[in-house]
Amino acid sequence: MQAILVFAFIVSCATITVNAKMTGGFTEQDASKPEYTEHAWKAVKGINDQASNNGPYYFVPIKVIKAHTQVVAGINTKLEVLVGESSCKKGELQAQEISSSNCQLKEGGNRALFQVTIWEKPWENFEQFNVEKIRNVESHEQF
């Protein structure tokens, strides 16, 4: 009887450990939430400042593929964003002027995946964006 109780205790501890989330770690979020799309659009300037976008057209977000958040001294949001060439040519407007209303996705344009990390402290009106290209995306790839 005592062996059964010890076994049950060990199994319950193992279950709690497996299902527990790491304190302070990133938590997966629903990437389709509008707030993450808004973050992707805010990161457009950083994405287009990357030397990896040396084409004549600006990139715009197509879809947020993954979203994770972490509570720190504020909130860290890590996004994986699929971007594509837009109809907006560089030199015709500034990267910070790009929006979904004035730059549409260019059909057949180049695409790429970027990791965007946003550190926010809303009580200080603070946002910091870090952008890193993950890879180019072929036209036949689906997400």
Q: For residue 125, what is the domain's CATH number? A: 3.10.450.10
Tell me the per-residue pLDDT of 55-109, one tens digit each, with 9 for 90 and over: 899 999 999 999 999 998 899 999 999 999 999 998 898 888 888 899 999 998 9
The residue that leads in pLDDT, 41 or 12, is 41
Residue 38: band (very low, low, confident or very high) from pLDDT cuts 50, 70, 90 = very high
85 φ/ψ angles, rounded to the nearest 5 degrees: -65, 140
Q: Is there a domain that residue 5 lies in?
A: no
Residue 19: band (very low, low, confident or very high) from pLDDT cuts 50, 70, 90 = very low
pTM as predicted: 0.79
The sheet that has 27-29: what strands, in order across it? 27-29, 57-72, 74-89, 111-121, 126-137
**Cα separation values, 134 from 21, 55, 63, 116, 139, Å:** 26, 17, 15, 10, 16
What is the arithmetic mean of pLDDT over 14-35? 73
Q: Is there a domain that residue 8 lies in?
A: no
Q: Is there a domain that residue 97 lies in?
A: yes
pLDDT higher than threshold 90 for residue 3:
no
Instruction: Tell me what pLDDT residue 53 has.
Output: 73
Instruction: Tell me what pLDDT residue 16 has.
Output: 44
Residues spanned by the domain of 112: 24-137
Question: Which runs of E-coded beta strand occur in the chain?
Answer: 27-29, 57-72, 74-89, 111-121, 126-137
Structural domain tally of the chain?
1
- Report percent pLDDT > 90 for the chain: 58
The mean of the pLDDT values for the chain is 85
Half-sphere exposure of 63 toward its Cβ, with a 13 Å CA cutoff? 8
pLDDT higher than threshold 90 for residue 136:
yes
Instruction: Tell me what pLDDT residue 17 has.
Output: 43
CB 59 within 8 A of CB 84: yes
Residue 117: band (very low, low, confident or very high) from pLDDT cuts 50, 70, 90 = very high
Instruction: Tell me what pLDDT residue 52 has.
Output: 65
Query: Which among 55, 62, 52 is positioned nearest to 103, based on CA atoms?
Result: 62
